[in-house]
A = this chain, B = another copy of it.
Amino acid sequence: MEPLVKQKYETRAAIMKALAHPSRLMMVEELEKGPRCVCELQELVGADMSTVSKHLAVMKNAGLVYDVKQGTTVYYHLKTSCVLDFIACVDRVIEHNVAHQVKIARCCVRSVRHS
């Protein structure tokens, strides 16, 4: 494995990781509606403000969001809305999984009935 190729996958993974947290996903979706300050996002996710700030730092570091200071408040903006297509794809995977679970469940019910 060439170092450059390896690097490519590490870079990609870093961005995915920055999205792979419930609070962060929630915030990304909220930011799609428009810029939000830390306090608004804190209310949304219901965690300590320092925690929220750190989550935002992670996403900023990955280049998913940027921040604009206005007085004492900091407004975070979503950089690319394509992360939402992203989430749509994840939801398709979930639907697929759920459908499969249902199929298994139906099968169980049937075999109980027949036993």
Contacts and interface: CB of A to CB of B under 8 A. Distances in A.
* Chain A contact surface mostly: helix
Q: Copy number of this protein in the oligomer?
A: 2
Interface residues of A, number: 39
Nearest to A7: B22
A105 to B, nearest CB: 15
B86 A11 contact: no
Nearest to A84: B89
Contacts of A89: 80, 82-83, 85-86
A92 to B, nearest CB: 6
Interface string A46-75: 100000000000000011100000000000
- 8 shortest interchain CB distances as A-B pairs: A16-B20, A63-B97, A9-B22, A17-B20, A82-B89, A13-B22, A20-B20, A10-B22
